[in-house]
Amino acid sequence: MNPILEIEHLSFGYTPDKLLYDDFSLTLKRGEIKAVVGASGSGKTTLFEIILGNLKPFSGDLKSSRVSQVFQDPYTSFHPAYSIINQIKDVASLDGLELYLNEMDLERALLDKQPHELSGGQLQRCSIVRALLMKPELLLLDEPTSALDNVIQLDVMKLLLKHLDKTAMLLITHELDLAHWCADEIIEIGI
């Protein structure tokens, strides 16, 4: 099976004399979830920015398939003046919407609202629905359950893991227990 994400000998830093990544390699295949852990400022989110093409590494090769992302802060991932449904339609087909809403315990009427009208937990679950509707081969999860209470966190992670047959997942988390519970491999950054 071909890798969904392949990073070879990546080097990157915000200054050439202080590298966050030096000869970093990672391979991720469909059906796998790997967790990236490390202290704040260690470069976890930077890795996602490199994968998404928003930052250019100094050296190394990176190949990835179709990507979508769930951001840590759902309020910054939605435009404040547009309805949730319009922002989903802008990037994804609505094929499967009802199934995902049901899985995430969301009412369809919430999608007609603007982001500030939803709780952080509701908005984060909308963000997950949007990411799944994009039919990614690679799903980048940046602290995807941090806006959710503890009971819902576990339920949402279980629902995400149900989609591993269609995708590979790279998870940023500071919760080692979560990483050990769900990940095939834990990658420690800056430790």
- Looking at residue 147, what is its pLDDT? 67
Mean pLDDT of the chain: 92
- Looking at residue 144, what is its pLDDT? 87
Instruction: Give 77-94 pLDDT, tens digit per residue.
Output: 999 999 999 999 999 999
Three-class SS state of 46: helix
Quick one: average pLDDT of 8-28? Answer: 93
Q: Which residues pair with 142 in a beta bridge?
A: 172
First-to-last alpha carbon distance for the chain, in angstroms, is 31
- Looking at residue 96, what is its pLDDT? 94
Domain ranges for the chain: 31-38+66-188
Quick one: average pLDDT of 156-166? Answer: 88
- Looking at residue 57, what is its pLDDT? 94
Between 148 and 165, residue with greater pLDDT:
165
Q: How confident is the model at residue 191 (pLDDT cuts 50, 70, 90)?
A: low
- For residues 159 and 33, give the distance between their C-alpha atoms in angstroms, rounded to a whole number: 13
Class of domain 31-38+66-188: alpha beta
